[in-house]
Amino acid sequence: MGGISGFLTIFPPFIYFLWSLLERLPVKLPLPIDKLVSRVSYPRTGRQLQRYDKRGFRLVVGCIPYRYRETEEATSIDEVIEVLVINAQNGQGMLFPKGGWEKDETMEAAAIRETLEEAGVVGNLECKLGKWSYKSKRQSKFHEGHMFPLLVKQELDRWPEENVRNRKWVTVSEAREQCPHLWMREALEELVRRHMQQQQRHQGEVNRTACN
């Protein structure tokens, strides 16, 4: 049996579920959905396809997954959004999902893949928050990290790294306290800045409407 039917009979229902979710993602992926899902079903290992810049810095991409809180009148960013964090493998603090950007994928596809692998969530990928150069504490090597916001639409019950990663929703203030990486905290502040600007614009529109 070939084609889509053959693919679905070979892989378990969990893979079909991932497939149906990824088909609704707004980002254009560099691979057919079936091939991408089969790759994401198991975490990528090795550095054969890893990208490096001209300085020799390893290129890393990731996401800050977030969702809106159900509040009518928010007075702080903690009442507007929550962010999803995962445990570090060394047990030191919480962080946002991220990993190596590989040669056979776009930066956006890599961010989606890493977030699905490590945190088991999918959603709408938004404009990049920025890039940061930092030194890996574990390997003493320099990396360049690129972070995106991801508005979460689905949390998966099963995901590739579920046995080594715990995930939890926290407030922005809690994420600031629990994340040991300065560059990730700076990416979080950029996300906060965007949402505060968005809230201010919305309030300005409400005020203009009330005056008319």
Let me know if residue 82 belongs to a domain. Answer: yes
pLDDT single digits (tens) 186-203 = 999 999 999 999 878 766
* pTM: predicted TM-score of the whole model, two decimal places: 0.76
Q: Is residue 4 part of a domain?
A: no
Tens digits of per-residue pLDDT, 121-133? 999 999 999 999 9
Sequence letter at residue 194 = R
Query: Cβ of 106: how many Cβ atoms within 10 Å?
Result: 15
105-114 per-position pLDDT tens digit: 999 999 999 9
Position 22 in a domain: yes
Q: What is the DSSP letter of 66?
A: E
Q: Is residue 47 part of a domain?
A: yes
Report the number of distinct structural domains present in the chain: 1
CATH of the domain at 19: 3.90.79.10
Q: Is 73 part of any domain?
A: yes
**Non-local CB neighbours of 65 within 8 Å, separated by 6+ positions:** 83, 84, 96, 97, 115, 119, 121, 123, 150, 152
DSSP-derived pairing of the beta strands 98-100 and 130-135: unpaired
The rounded Cα 181 to chain-centroid distance in angstroms is 16
Residue 75 burial (CB count, 10 A): 8
Is 2 contained in some domain?
Answer: no
> In which domain, by residue range, is 75 found?
13-210
Whether residue 7 is contained in a domain is answered as no
Whether residue 26 lies inside any domain: the answer is: yes
